[in-house]
Amino acid sequence: MRCGDLKESYLEDEKIFQSLFVKICLATLLVVLVIIPFVAGPYTLYIMNLIGFAIIGAVGLNLLTGFTGQISLGHAAFIGVGGYTTAILVTKLGVPFWFAMPVAGLVSAGMGLIIGIPSLRVKGLYLCIATLAAQFILEFVFVHWESMTRGIRGINVPPPRIGDFVFDTEKSYYFITLFLVIVAVGFARNLVRTKWGRAFVAIRDRDLAAEIIGINLFRYKLAAFALSSFFAGIAGSLWVGFIKVVTPEHFPFSLSIQYLAMVIVGGLGSVLGSIFGAIFMILTPELLNILVSSAKQLFPGLDQFFIPLKDIIFGGLIVSFLVFEPHGLAEIWHRIKNFFLLWPFSY
């Protein structure tokens, strides 16, 4: 068991794979993630896919909110833009899904650029409201631009395919999701240790100071919005390919809040935190559901009591996490790791 590692430069501090042990752990995790679809049932894989989409979306939002300090309440709308772009490209123009997905990301990014413009003038709560407007404007567009979005009826989308192989089951789709999650997380993790990532953090910590030391606020704030929306667009595109239908009701304001909650519960300014947050926000309600359905069998006839109870428990869990660990799940993970680093000789 290793007991701490010595670093001699800042460069080493920023390494992603800090030691051989970490490499082994991550390799094992990857192997497990690849094996899972061959042993798990469709329900588990459905949830794993949802977690995957949430991770991509949450990492994107964390780049904007956690690293750059710009709160966005319109994340769900950007996911929707990605979803609709994919659906329209695939059904109206017959573009293959694989090409539609990056285009959807770019369209979302473009939308993010436009919505991000107010961030140059307004901050904090004011920016919150500006992005909130984006949520409602885009939702309105989804409903009323009927020639493109088919309005409230939505668009049915064929599943992605390569040649004759169709990705229409949870299992096959899981591999697309897994691949993109790895790419997205890898990209974000690397980005935050480059010049760009440092600029984001500088803006978050004090934008005035950042500007004085030569960071172009215009460029980096908009870049953060565009990047975050690009991630959202990819997440939306994946969701549409998976669920095979898109309607405006898929991207409500509450989804934006849910993404914000993922980032906050997971840990602001931490890529790992976004992953934990996404897993927590998707998995906990499902676990509570399973718990409730078992409780129903023990106490039949009390459905009306148990089913609303799970929302209360879920809310309580989020609040208690924030009270007991304001830095989020990432910090809890960090503490557990540190405990075992020295275990059993914690002198």
* Interface contacts to another protein, rule CB under 8 A: 41-44, 46-47, 50, 143, 151-154, 156, 168-170, 243-245, 247, 249-250, 285-286, 289-295, 297-298, 303-304, 307-308, 311
The residue among 9 and 297 lying less far from another protein, judged by its C-beta, is 297
Q: Other C-beta atoms within 10 Å of 150: how many? A: 18
Least distance from another protein to the Cβ atom of residue 169, Å: 8
Least distance from another protein to the Cβ atom of residue 134, Å: 20
The residue among 161 and 198 lying less far from another protein, judged by its C-beta, is 161
- First-to-last CA distance in the chain? 15
Among candidate residues 39, 37, 1, 33, the one with its CA nearest the CA of residue 20: 1
113 contacts: CB under 8 Å, gap ≥ 6: 222, 225, 226, 229
The residue among 147 and 304 lying less far from another protein, judged by its C-beta, is 304
Compute the distance between CA of residue 140 and CA of residue 227 in angstroms, rounded to an integer: 24
Least distance from another protein to the Cβ atom of residue 299, Å: 10
Least distance from another protein to the Cβ atom of residue 168, Å: 8
**Residue in the structure block whose two tokens are 């140059």:** 120
Least distance from another protein to the Cβ atom of residue 189, Å: 27
The residue among 41 and 214 lying less far from another protein, judged by its C-beta, is 41
Q: With residue 25 as reference, give the H or E element that holds it.
A: helix 20-39
The two structure tokens encoding residue 40: 């798990």
Least distance from another protein to the Cβ atom of residue 245, Å: 5
The residue among 110 and 151 lying less far from another protein, judged by its C-beta, is 151
User: Please, is 339 exposed, middle or buried when counting C-beta atoms within 10 Å of its C-beta (0-12, 13-18, 19+)?
Assistant: exposed
Question: Do 61 and 72 touch, CB atoms closer than 8 A?
Answer: yes
The residue among 291 and 317 lying less far from another protein, judged by its C-beta, is 291
- Can you count the helices (H) and strands (E) in the chain? 15, 4
